[in-house]
Amino acid sequence: MKSKTKTILIFAAILAAVFLIAFLDGGAVQSAADEEEEGTLIGAFVSEEDIDIGGDLAVSAAGKFVWKAGGLYMETDDWSALGERGGGIYCTMEPDARYGEEDAKSPNITIFGALGAPLGKAGIDDDNGVRTTDIDLSGEVYACGSRHVIFNFYPIYQTSDGRIYLTRGNSMGMSGSDGGSVTHTLTSDKTETIGGMSERVKVRVAITAVSRPTPTKFTVAHMDENDDLLKLEEFAPDALPESITAAPGAAYLIGTSYGQDGDVETAEYDICSRSNDSAPYAYSNLDTFRYQDGKLCSISIKVNWGEGTA
């Protein structure tokens, strides 16, 4: 009886460890080839919401139950609506006449929804007769305060006929009070031979969950060329404007993001200056964070250097 109890405890511990790894798979690299999805990995979507994308149980030839992943197919124009529920980045392969072939394609990077610090790089090389597309995508999502956030990851795939769709991936938890960050990375490397031509697509998608201070206010200081203050504006973190017009005579603006991290008040600065005097209506940006309904997302506020500014 004692031996049986010990066996049960060991088995329970193994199950708990497997669950923890699957749930908090932040530092590991997940190969998309293991998923055996239709099409090619092109990006990732992340949301605090649990999105119903379908799925069912199937029975294999050996009589075992196998999870058959569902997919949420969408037209390209519909992804902006999905962006209201989270954020994502993907790189579709679009027809490109520059290569002189009907089936030649070029990478087209798209960023949608509330995804911070997005970065997308893609290039095409011909190596020993193999046309290789190398795609590297990344972005950030944020948690703050004492609220524990669960981020759900959904790999994005593109089929041979051009459709794009979501599949269910992993989830990971993040608290805004620990000051840490965790990165979840997807990779894929596929080579196909069509009509005697080999095409290789290498993809890396990294999404980092970042713990940040809770925003308390955002100020904008309008400064002249002598570093004198012309105007000071203050905004609540849930009432940030989409754009700001620089005060007449302003040479640069200083945006200050104030926050609370436990008992410590924090401040981060972003400086924006007019870079082209020949373009009186040119825009530039101040970067900060919007905090609304317990959710944090990064935003860029456009600065209008209207006619008459320095």
Structure confidence at residue 61 (pLDDT): 66
Q: Which residues pair with 119 in a beta bridge?
A: 138
* DSSP sequence for 42-100: EEEEEESS-----EEEEE-TTS-EEEEE--EEE-GGGHHHHGGG-EEEEEEEEE-GGGS
* DSSP sequence for 228-247: -EEEEEEE-TTS--SEEEPP
Of 115, 46, 30, the closest CA to residue 298 belongs to 115
- Who has greater pLDDT, 225 or 32? 225
Q: What is the chain's Cα-based Rg?
A: 24
Count the helices and strands in the chain (H runs, E runs): 2, 21
Question: Containing H/E element for 5?
Answer: helix 2-23
Q: Which residue has the tokens 């993809």?
A: 203
**Structure tokens belonging to residue 191:** 């080579």
Mean pLDDT of all residues in 271-277:
75
Judged against a pLDDT cut of 70, whether residue 262 lies above it is answered with yes
Judged against a pLDDT cut of 90, whether residue 218 lies above it is answered with yes
Structure confidence at residue 240 (pLDDT): 95
Structure confidence at residue 36 (pLDDT): 44
Residue 11: burial class (beta carbons within 10 Å; 0-12, 13-18, 19+): exposed
Mean pLDDT of all residues in 94-100:
63
- Who has greater pLDDT, 146 or 210? 210
- Percent over 70 (pLDDT), the chain: 68
Per the CB < 8 A criterion, the answer to whether 158 and 40 are in contact is yes
Structure confidence at residue 16 (pLDDT): 33
Total length of the chain: 310
pTM: 0.71
Question: Containing H/E element for 79?
Answer: helix 79-82
pLDDT band at 13 (very low <50, low <70, confident <90, very high): very low
Rounded to an integer, what distance in angstroms lies between the CA atom of residue 172 and that of residue 209? 9
pLDDT band at 75 (very low <50, low <70, confident <90, very high): low
pLDDT digits (tens, 9 = 90+) for 44-59: 999 988 877 655 545 5
Of 140, 139, 96, the closest CA to residue 120 belongs to 139
CA 231 from centroid of its chain's CA atoms:
35
Mean pLDDT of all residues in 297-310:
77
**Structure tokens belonging to residue 128:** 């020993």
Per the CB < 8 A criterion, the answer to whether 42 and 162 are in contact is no
Distances (CA, A) of 90 to 1, 17, 29, 78, 215: 55, 32, 18, 14, 29
Mean pLDDT of all residues in 262-281:
76
Rounded to an integer, what distance in angstroms lies between the CA atom of residue 237 and that of residue 255? 13
Q: Average pLDDT, whole number, for the chain?
A: 76
Structure confidence at residue 145 (pLDDT): 77
pLDDT band at 274 (very low <50, low <70, confident <90, very high): confident
**Structure tokens belonging to residue 277:** 């005097």
Distances (CA, A) of 114 to 80, 136, 289: 11, 19, 10
Q: Which residue has the tokens 């590991």?
A: 28
Structure confidence at residue 185 (pLDDT): 93
Judged against a pLDDT cut of 80, whether residue 171 lies above it is answered with yes
Judged against a pLDDT cut of 50, whether residue 309 lies above it is answered with no
Judged against a pLDDT cut of 50, whether residue 6 lies above it is answered with no
Per the CB < 8 A criterion, the answer to whether 189 and 199 are in contact is no
Of 101, 88, 93, the closest CA to residue 39 belongs to 93
